[in-house]
Amino acid sequence: MESQVRGGTRWKRFAVVMVPSVLATAAVGVGLAQGALAASFSVSGQQFKVTADYLKGDGFAQYGGVDTVYASTEGKEKKPVPVAISSFDTAEITKMCQSVATKVPLIGKTVYLRLEAGNNPKKPVTAENLYIDVAQLDADAKFEDIDIGVALQDKSRGPVNKDEKTTKPGGFAQQARVAHLYGVEQTAWATTAGTFTLNGLSMRLGMDPDMECY
């Protein structure tokens, strides 16, 4: 479809409020919309934090979905959680940080895992066919050639997975030719990509809460 809005749109503290139903790894089948429940994968039940100085994504789309997460670390019960699914054909990420906090019963303390990559602007993190299941997002954002209110089955940007074409016609989506996100702080349930290149990867484990990305 042709874009109905031209030029750039900047939203301060873009918080995915456009999605009505509002980087742990899931299958690409994560792209279910408008309350459709994903049955092909489960998420650990732990959210993780991600920050980035700058993310440039070509072929951007966003829509609502539902993840199935484990309700406890024992992994016996599951529950649905609403997510905003952001997808990109390709993405470049500068100064990316990802952290997750896990309580370890054996020692009775919380252990933090922190990953950093792409600190060199000349060698950013790169990804293809990237999906992020977002629970919360704050950033400065600029979109080029944006369409808001596109029916999900009619969207023409972003990667396409097998589930999108089976959702109901009223599924809400927005899309843009290019998305620029600055000063990203987000909490996510899952991230998946066809390829994910972490240039300059650094990983640390510890028990200092300051190890979290924010």
Q: What stretches of 44-153 show up as alpha helix (H) in DSSP? A: none
Full residue range of the structural domain in which residue 172 is found: 8-95+124-194
The verdict on residue 168 lying in a domain is yes
The verdict on residue 3 lying in a domain is no
Please report the sign of the dihedral spanned by the C-alpha atoms of residue 67, residue 73, residue 75, residue 79: negative
The verdict on residue 12 lying in a domain is yes
The verdict on residue 171 lying in a domain is yes
The verdict on residue 211 lying in a domain is no
Q: State pLDDT tens for residues 46-93.
A: 899 999 999 999 999 998 888 888 776 666 788 888 888 899 999 999
The verdict on residue 110 lying in a domain is no
Instruction: Specify the number of domains making up the chain.
Output: 1
Phi first, then psi: give them for residue 110, nearest 5 degrees: -95, 130
The verdict on residue 203 lying in a domain is no
pTM over 0.85: no
The verdict on residue 204 lying in a domain is no
Candidates 157, 145, 168, 129; CA nearest to 33 is: 168
Asked if 177 and 58 count as a contact pair (C-beta separation under 8 A), the reply is yes
